[in-house]
Structure 1
Amino acid sequence: MKDYDIYELGDVLLQSGITLPNAILAYKTYGMLNAAKNNVIVYPTWFAGLHTDNEWLIGPGKALNPEKYFIIVPNMLGNGLSSSPSNTPSPYHQANFPLISIYDNVRLQHQLVNQKFGIAEIALVVGWSLGAVQTFQWGASYPDMVKRIAPFGGTAMTRPHAKVVFEGMIAALQADSAWKNGFYTQKPKTGLAAMGRVYAAWGFSQAYYLEQLYQQEGYHTLEEYLVDYWDQVFLAFDANDLITMLRTGITGDISANPTYNGDFDLALSRITARALVMPGSTDLFFPPQDNKVEARHIPNAFFLPIESKWGHCAGIGQHEPDSVFIDKSLKSFLLE
């Protein structure tokens, strides 16, 4: 049985100029909306993530406490639950699925929050990785609505180096002979495994591998870790879905929309929400120095790196010390 709801968006005009028919947004809520409708937290998903992957940060006694807050987790377009290549009929099926921007995601999430639930004030938007980019976009697109943002492990703009890495992940997948230009009839498993190998090099820090920290996850050797974990990690996903999300990440830029027309500094300066910006100290996808520059342009931003050898994946909920740090920081932030 499905543990999430579907919000029907109808025909949606995307930023690309293509109209996606009968678009849907999958979402899950936790807790109860109060009478004032001001106890709201929005927590978007990330690349290759579902709403269930966000649940490590939600629970009684945690910062995202469903006994206190009404938490909405919208699934990113392309993740297989919301409108995606794998669940959209012709003519936008498989490789014909249109480009989705961060702006598209957040605009449709706003429609869910505002029109479905009648919410006009959000206490916090929080997100990791591509969820962090969406978090920045919420702050830039709806400054009068959002009181706080807490992006962690992600930047407000995807820098060139991260774009190269994402393109490398796509190229590795598409090198599989089963790919067939995106109109495959069987899962390109070799390509999906190769994508995992590319991600593995960038998802964690050099120190993580040098000190064999993967042994804390139960893998005795590097080869065992790569074969038993990274070669398998993307097999549960549809290949076109993964590429759709990566393309969204490649084009990530909170100023790439009619409101800011590419003026990135202006977009950052219009984020009036209190901002807690938490990069992973050894993140190779979204290095902390990029976040530090961004935080300087946000009027009410506090820069707080997650000191960790787990690189980008410090924010994925797998390493308890990092998870505790993130939760504790969010608790304090929500009290401010």
Structure 2
Amino acid sequence: MGPGAAACANSLRHDRYARSQGRERCPGALLVYRHHRRQPLSGGVEAGIDPAKYFIVFTELFGSGKSSSPSNTAKPFDGRRFPVTTIRDTVRICHQLWFEELKVRRPRSVVGFSMGAQQAFQWAVSYPDQVESIVPVCGTAKTCHHGVVRLESAISCLQADVNWNNGDLLGPLENGAEARARHWAAWVYSQEWWRKELFRDNGDASPQDVIKFFVSRFGSSKANDVVSQARTWLRHDVGGSPGFDGDVEAALRFIPARVLYMPDGTDLYFPLTAARYEKQHLKHTCLETDTLIMGPRGRRGMGWQGAAVCSQIGKEVLGAVTPGSAPREPVRDGGWVRAGCNSIWWERDCFLTRGCGRSDSWSWCAPVSSSGRHGRCRRLVCGPVRSTRSSPGS
């Protein structure tokens, strides 16, 4: 557990909120984390998982800027004073909310991409008796030393800016943002993407145009949020969970859940070799796919492949559940929740969809009735949470 993590965890439990716009609140549809609008699998979920049968919930991550983060937490824990958090912290508070407040008995599966995959592994280790299956997509159970070096180099791009001032920013990090954009572009796309000059498919005439795109994208990012999330990422290791004394192999052997492990051969962040190493220590790996989930576009290609990936997840984990298909039989104890940078699911009497094209707007609907119509919808607008604890060491 990161020092002071309880401060953020408790803020999520007590200060989370969703306000309805002149309509009745839906207790079963309140979310702690808003779904990150850039989450690559979001567009493909309904291609493989029927929302009329499964309650699909998208979650976020401490430090992401959507959940409790340096940029939206009140003093004295704002900015660089935001406590260090871990993947276990996020998983622990999600477990507390879903099981204690929402009374979810047994999630059908925990699914996540990248840092969401890290959460999926952590769920299986921390709550082995309460998770039926996990689907880590392009992510691993431990950040290897190479990943740590990569993340530290990304952090150093921001910290080298003259306006960094040890995290108490003196102004926009213009040089730092450009350095980070160059770092990101080198890692997010595969070598094949660059060699084939596939950037031209996006309307870019040269690599410099790609850099300019990422500079414009990252220019509005909150620097301390970026650093916080990178610190969380590089610290991840399920072997650090209580009882394993840093032994990641023992932690992996301990996992009783079925695992649909989905690495990708073009992923430079979580290489296929790392996934194969971890797979050999898992007892119930139902499938390893080293197909081109992302393709030559690397991590930016997930938006193209999301529907196919989710369709495979629906088939392998949920038994070929597709939109419009007749339910095999009710699943009493589970459903599917997906983790945005992160995810998790369970079956209840409602599901969520994002409405009106707004990243902060959600609609809640009852399941599809026999007439094929959805129940009455309620629109919820979610906001950030704020810490109420007084000590970073509490």
TM-score tier (shorter)? 0.7 to 0.9
Is 1:23 paired with 2:14?
no
Output the amino acid matched with 2:273.
Answer: Q
Aligned match for 2:215, one of 231, 249, 270? 231
Deviation at 1:154, TM superposition (A): 0.9
1:1-336 maps to which residues of 2 (within 5 A)? 14-16=1-3, 19-20=6-7, 23-24=11-12, 50=36, 53=39, 54-59=41-46, 62-227=47-212, 229-301=213-285, 302-307=287-292, 308-314=295-301, 316-317=302-303, 320=304, 322-336=305-319
Gaps of 5+ in 1: 1-13, 29-36
Q: Which is bigger in relative contact order (C-alpha 8 A, separation at least 6)?
A: 2
Q: Is the 8 A contact 2:111 2:136 kept in 1?
A: yes
Paired residue secondary structure (2:204): coil
Output the amino acid matched with 1:327.
Answer: C
Paired residue secondary structure (1:245): helix
2:376 match? none
Output the amino acid matched with 2:218.
Answer: F
Q: Is the 8 A contact 2:252 2:282 kept in 1?
A: yes
Q: CA RMSD in A?
A: 2.5
Q: Is the 8 A contact 1:147 1:273 kept in 2?
A: yes
Q: Distance in 2 between matches of 1:212 and 1:128?
A: 26
Deviation at 1:78, TM superposition (A): 0.4
Structure-2 change in CA distance of 1:108 and 1:130 (3 Å) = same
Output the amino acid matched with 2:203.
Answer: G
Deviation at 1:279, TM superposition (A): 1.1
Gaps of 5+ in 2: 19-27, 320-394
1:7 match? none
Structure-2 change in CA distance of 1:18 and 1:142 (3 Å) = closer
Q: Distance in 2 between matches of 1:242 and 1:299?
A: 35
Q: Is the 8 A contact 2:4 2:84 kept in 1?
A: no
Structure-2 change in CA distance of 1:191 and 1:253 (3 Å) = same
Using the size of structure 2 for normalisation, the TM-score is 0.71
Q: Is the 8 A contact 1:27 1:74 kept in 2?
A: no
Paired residue secondary structure (2:166): helix
Q: Is the 8 A contact 1:306 1:325 kept in 2?
A: no
Structure-2 change in CA distance of 1:15 and 1:170 (3 Å) = closer
Deviation at 1:136, TM superposition (A): 0.9
Structure-2 change in CA distance of 1:18 and 1:110 (3 Å) = closer
Deviation at 1:261, TM superposition (A): 2.5
Q: Is the 8 A contact 2:63 2:226 kept in 1?
A: yes
- Total equivalences in the alignment: 301
Write out the 4+ residue segments of structure 1 that deviate beyond 4 Å after TM superposition.
25-28
Q: Is the 8 A contact 1:27 1:73 kept in 2?
A: no
Deviation at 1:243, TM superposition (A): 0.4
Q: Distance in 1 between matches of 2:140 and 2:288?
A: 12
Q: Distance in 1 between matches of 2:97 and 2:198?
A: 41
1:3 match? none
Percent identity of paired positions between Structure 1 and Structure 2:
32
Larger gyration radius, structure 1 or structure 2: 2
